Amino acid sequence: DAKTTQPTSMDCAEGRAANLPCNHSTISGNEYVYWYRQIHSQGPQYIIHGLKNNETNEMASLIITEDRKSSTLILPHATLRDTAVYYCIVRATFSGSARQLTFGSGTQLTVLP
Amino acid sequence: GAGVSQSPSNKVTEKGKDVELRCDPISGHTALYWYRQSLGQGLEFLIYFQGNSAPDKSGLPSDRFSAERTGGSVSTLTIQRTQQEDSAVYLCASSPEGASGGRPSYNEQFFGPGTRLTVL
């Protein structure tokens, strides 16, 4: 799996958009970009994933650059409950074997009142 | 809809005792994972079930750990003769992995709230 690089921490004002960057310059053609988050004392939560097109769901938007070497997770209106560690991972889709998740250090997003 | 549930939410046990942790995955999800997470640490993979295939047990740390999944749904993780180093949050995740409209979703894993195990 390709390596990802994320800032260690970010702050965001409540109600503003939170833009979390991720670099994955060694991504290969069959690898997707996935985002998870982990709120303190809770299990990880799947947010969104994409291959090359921008994606949007009820939680967030994912913007992937044309060369696919970086992406940005956007929380359009951050709330205090969005304070969490956000993990960007790059994974291919295989069949027949365990695809256990491995998280890097992630970005600690703190939403400030 | 209902998410992944785990029970108990907290378990305190004495060293040497056996414990059983339960996971109810999302209905229709064919894949089920067990992980554990020590305080401030990342996820440690334990075991993976996919349909009727033999489970991938490559992450189990010792033979004191075992897991089963009955009827392709509920799973139980058993730890025998618990040790203090077994203290952690045990997380279960399920994944549709092909059950979602035919598109493989191997990396969309939906986690339960975890069981916090404390071995005294």
Question: What pLDDT tens digit does each residue of chain B (120 aa) get?
Answer: 589 999 999 999 999 999 999 999 999 888 899 999 988 788 899 999 988 888 899 999 999 999 999 887 999 999 999 999 999 999 999 988 754 444 455 568 899 999 999 999
Note the pLDDT of residue B72.
77
Nearest CA in chain B to A98: B48
Query: What DSSP state is assigned to residue B70?
Result: G
pLDDT in the model for residue B82: 98
Mean pLDDT of chain A, nearest integer: 90
Which pLDDT score is estimated for B70?
A: 84
The torsion angle over the Cα atoms of residues A11, A12, A14 and A15, rounded to 10 degrees, is: -170
Give the B-side interface with A, CB within 8 Å.
33, 35, 42-43, 45, 48, 50, 56, 58-59, 89, 91, 93, 95, 98, 104, 106-114
Three-state DSSP at A73 gives: strand
Asked if residue B102 lies in contact with residue A34, where contact means CB atoms within 8 angstroms, the answer is no
Tracing tokens 């809770």 back to the chain, one arrives at A42
Query: How far apart are the C-alpha atoms of A47 and A86, rounded to whole Å?
Result: 9
For residue B32, give the nearest of B54, B55, B44, B48 by alpha carbon.
B48
Contacts of A48 (CB under 8 A, 6+ apart): A34, A35, A55, A56, A57, A59, A60, A61, A62, A73
Coil/strand/helix, residue A80: helix
Average of pLDDT values for A28-54?
Answer: 90
| Nearest neighbour of A34 by CB, restricted to B45, B93, B107 | B107
* Subunit contact A45:B111, Cβ cutoff 8 A: yes
CA distance B22 to chain A (A): 15
Average pLDDT over residues A61-89: 96
Residue A60 has pLDDT above 70, yes or no: yes
Rg (CA), chain A: 14
CA distance A12 to A14: 6
By Cβ distance, the residue of A45, A93, A103 closest to B104 is: A93
Q: Does A40 touch chain B (CB under 8 A)?
A: no
Size of interface A-B (CB pairs under 8 A): 63
Residues in B closer than 8 angstroms to A97, CB to CB, are: 56
Q: Which residue shows structure tokens 């378990």?
A: B11
